[in-house]
Chains A and B, each alone.
Chain A
Amino acid sequence: MTITERTPNSFRNQPDERGHFGQFGGRYVAETLMPLVLDLEREYRAAQQDPAFAAQFDDLLEHYVGRPSPLYYAERLTEEVRKNAPAGKGAQIWFKRDELNHTGAHKINNCIGQILLAIRMGKTRIIAETGAGQHGVATATVCARFGLPCFIYMGAKDIERQQPNVFRMRLLGAEVIPVTSGAGTLKDAMNEGLRDWVANVHDTFYIIGTAAGPHPYPELVRDFQSVIGKEARAQMLSRINRLPDLLVAAIGGGSNAIGLFHPFLDDKDVAMLGIEAAGHGLNAEHAASLAGGRPGVLHGNKTYLLQDDDGQIAEAHSISAGLDYPGIGPEHSWLKEIGRVRYDSVTDTEALAAFQLLCRTEGIIPALEPAHAIAAVEREAKKMDRDQIILANLCGRGDKDIFTVAEALGTTI
Chain B
Amino acid sequence: MTRLSAAFSKPHPALVAFITAGDGDTAANLDALVAGGADVIELGMPFTDPMADGPAIQEANIRSLNAGTKTADIFALASTFRKRHPDTPLVLMGYANPMTIRGGDWFASECNKAGVDGVICVDIPPEEDPELGPALRNAGIDLIRLATPTTDAARLPTVLNGASGFLYYVSVAGITGLQVAAQTSIDEAVARLKAHTDLPIAVGFGVRTPEQAANIARVADGVVVGSAIVEIVAQHGANAAGPVRDYVASLKQAIVAARKV
Contact = CB atoms under 8 A, between A and B. Distances in A.
Interface stretch (B31-39, B111-119, B122-130, B243-251): B122-130
The interface size bin for chain A is: 35 or more
Interface in B152-183: 152, 155, 159, 170, 172-175, 178-179
B49 interface: yes
B25 to A, nearest CB: 21
A300 B128 CA distance: 11
A51 interface: no
Contacts of B122: 30
Nearest to B99: A311
Contacts of A201: 150, 173
A157 interface: no
Contacts of B62: 181-182
A63 to B, nearest CB: 38
B58 A298 contact: no
A18 interface: yes
Given A26-B128, A198-B52, A311-B100, A31 B70 contact: no
A296 B101 CA distance: 6
Contact of B71 (A187, A202, A310): A310
A29 B49 contact: no
Interface string A1-43: 0000000000000000010000000111111111110000000
A187 B49 contact: yes
A95 B194 CA distance: 61
Contacts of B96: 28, 297
B145 interface: yes
A412 interface: no
Contacts of B175: 195, 198-199
User: Which has the most chain B C-beta neighbours within 10 Å: A33, A187, A297?
Assistant: A297
A312 interface: yes
Interface string A171-199: 00000000001100001101100110011
Contacts of A298: 49, 97
Contacts, number: 116
A32 B150 contact: yes
A170 interface: no
A309 interface: yes
A47 interface: no
B51 A191 contact: yes
A299 interface: yes
B51 to A, nearest CB: 4
Interface in B31-82: 47-52, 54-55, 58, 62, 65, 70-71
Closest CB pairs A-B (n = 6)? A311-B101, A199-B174, A311-B97, A297-B96, A311-B98, A32-B148
Given A30-B51, A187-B49, A198-B173, 13 more contacts: A30-B52, A30-B125, A31-B125, A31-B145, A31-B170, A32-B52, A32-B174, A191-B49, A198-B174, A199-B178, A201-B150, A307-B97, A313-B49
